[in-house]
Amino acid sequence: MPAGFFNDKRMKMPETLSVAAQERLQHELRPGEELHWAGRPGKAELRHKALTYAFAGAGLVLSLCMAWALAHFMGFAAWVLMVPVSLLCFVLDYFMRRRTRHMVYMVTNHRVVWVVLHQPQVHSLALRQNMVSGTVMRAAGRGDIIFTADASGDAVDSFYNIPHVRKVVSLINDLSAGR
């Protein structure tokens, strides 16, 4: 299942997106804007998930041990305090992954766009030269693109874990070259 696509001219939406998502992306295009690429963040790699859950599990075990040790002094209050705090790692990880599950990235001839499906949120940056401040490469051509909003070089947002990251960076640089 391809997670992104490229285009030389105006193109139709990818089939990997639902009809509602395709309509939403079409609705977000401004007059005169042409879609050149759209994609979604890839799923986290197994080693990243394993590392996250290993630390969360270790934190849970440590918290439970501390609660058991503190139970001699504090009684039941130690359990009431420590168990929810230890479960916080799992909850935060779930919500971070949930947000990226509904994210779609777009590159048009005028801007780069972050669309959160099922929410009215749309974030975009106008194309300009040197807007890509860096990339993070992963296996199989996947990676992150880090963007800046102005000449200061401060990172403001990124396309996370997208396929063919070098091609997308090249496309953004080509589109912004004429600006």
Digit-coded pLDDT (tens) for 151-160: 676 778 889 8
Among residues 168, 150, 170, 148, the alpha carbon closest in space to that of 158 is found at 148
> Residues 81-92: what's their mean pLDDT?
69
DSSP string covering 39-67: E-PPPPPHHHHHHHHHHHHHHHHHHHHHH
Digit-coded pLDDT (tens) for 125-148: 999 988 998 898 888 888 999 998
pLDDT of residue 107: 93
As a whole number of angstroms, the distance between CA 138 and CA 113 comes to 22
User: Are 9 and 83 a contacting pair, CB within 8 Å?
Assistant: no
Q: Would the pLDDT of 45 be above 60? A: no
pTM: 0.68
As a whole number of angstroms, the distance between CA 125 and CA 6 comes to 19
More confident: 54 or 114: 114
SS3 content of the chain, % helix, strand, coil (to 5): 45, 25, 30
pLDDT of residue 167: 93
